[in-house]
Chain A
């Protein structure tokens, strides 16, 4: 008998060819490229729009003097609030009935005002759809307190202290910055593998429906071990995924090089850049094969495309849960949860990618890859066994455990 690998390659070759050399596959390749392209084109515009949309505006009904005092303080402290900055303040001349003016401002659709501050510095009153403990109230409290403080100092004839000049010496990196950068790399690696697996492994759910619908499965099962059929299908779809990823990665790299040539520097992972790329590739393959074998097994039990479609959502949710578990390996990777995520077969590839970004030790990766390979084999065996017992109706009483079969079976 030919070995499993040779048998699997017959299936893999057929599945690869009928998937890749079709017009549908072009659409499959173009889908993510269109999304990437549109994202790049509209990215900046969207960001600006989002910033404008999200920046809250507070109307300040106050005298010119009070508003100037608040605005001066705001100008001084705003850099400390980072990119998002503070709420936008717009002054309105006090009307005769302040409460009515405030209500009108809050209701004016064209002004999009979140809150109204009345009473100036002395009797401040905030009206608006904001939290009583939120940042808007906190910001305004800070500004008014500081304005009062400055006014008191000026009244006492005391000169305000000069702004502090802090001498700044920039160093390339520190333990804190490295840890932070590597955590970012770890999360990026995990997210990349997770996204690609979600995008690509789901196809395996419906991979055996064609054979079952066309009755080809009987021909295959009479010629090859079911394990080889499953393995062949996995290899084929991994190959299809690699082709897709190669196309998308090339397009993304070319796009980034054209769009912003200097922005491709990522924080250096702990194992080094080239090895990290290799490990990401290997862990993606392991993640794809483990989850793919599982999906293939689950999908093979379905009797129709409709059943497969119904299974898609719980399967995707399962992947999200695994991703969440693996996220424990970012940061405290040697904690109980971090090690647990690395050992649990479904989250192991994602957890180990995070580890590769954060610590330079290599031996755990060798161990992990062997562990994951073992699980690929186990899941393929289990899926094939379930298929034989539940779909082909083989085995004593439909047992899914091949080691419990009777010795007479051959």
Chain B
């Protein structure tokens, strides 16, 4: 990894039965970072991850995983939690975790020891020898997550990891991702919940319609929009109105508009001199959601919200 990138992909293209799923995707994931791939359902997130991992090959393009052009050559250094969770129902929790480690080259006895420790540390010590089919969905998901990291991978790939988890377990998972990154691992995850990406990621890729609409730092995505000004005045009309930008709109009794390029000071002066009677004034940096709407479009944002609502249901 001479360029300090855990994952690098250029011009990935994939079509299924003539329908384009991934269309010229470029991604660069710095080593040791938490990286989010955002997009609505069907945007091409899972296909991108599967290509990056070598489960499927792209029709066109190149990808490098931990410095390997053939991703499976780095399989021992990678942990992967697929979107559709899969465990053998008759296998015990401990054996499931150890087996997943063994698939990545971890000796079974070490895997078993680590599995016992992980389960005990997370309050699942009583379930070590229980078959997966007897566990709740959340517990089974936790077991699979432990199986994903039992071999202490350098790169952790999680496809919609928060999907199906309750709020408490979502919080735990966020902590776990932070801990793994703090320990030096690179974490890349896909999600259709912007809040997770906003809380966790340093860098993101916004994908919609199989294309990368944005790739870079979260702050850069937010900086694409001007800060938003919210102004509430005592006076409803007056000469101060001329000082407001033309696109200013009233919502909930307050004016909303982008921060003018010349800053807030000239506007403030005009408002005071014009007798607006400032009651409230706030300048807010746009959130990732606003940036997402601006980058991917309102339709993609609506799809994301619908997916989220589906999860919650």
Contacts and interface: CB of A to CB of B under 8 A. Distances in A.
Interface of A: 1-2, 7, 10, 14, 18, 210-211, 214-225, 388, 392-398, 405-406, 408-410
Interface of B: 15-17, 50, 53-63, 68-76, 78, 80, 82, 84-91, 99-100, 102-105, 147
- Per DSSP, are chain A's interface residues mostly helix, strand or loop, or mixed? helix
Contacts of B78: 222
Q: 9 closest pairs, A vs B, by CB?
A: A215-B86, A394-B56, A409-B57, A223-B103, A216-B86, A1-B73, A218-B82, A410-B69, A215-B84
A408 B71 contact: no
A218 B55 contact: yes
B60 A408 contact: yes
Contacts of A14: 88, 99
Contacts of B16: 393
A19 B76 CA distance: 27
A223 B62 contact: no
A232 to B, nearest CB: 10
A47 B76 CA distance: 62
A1 B75 contact: yes
Given A215-B84, A218-B82, A1 B72 contact: yes
Contacts, number: 93
Nearest to B75: A223
Contact of A408 (B15, B58, B80, B105): B58
Nearest to A7: B103
Contacts of B102: 10
Contacts of A220: 103
B103 A406 contact: no
Given A216-B88, A223-B75, 18 more contacts: A1-B74, A10-B103, A18-B91, A214-B87, A214-B89, A216-B87, A218-B55, A218-B82, A219-B80, A219-B82, A221-B55, A222-B75, A224-B75, A224-B103, A392-B56, A397-B15, A408-B60, A409-B58
Given A1-B76, A10-B103, A14-B99, A218 B59 contact: no
Contacts of A219: 80, 82, 86, 100, 103, 147
Nearest to A17: B95
Contacts of A210: 88
A404 B176 CA distance: 43
Contacts of A225: 72
B55 A405 contact: no
A223 B86 CA distance: 13
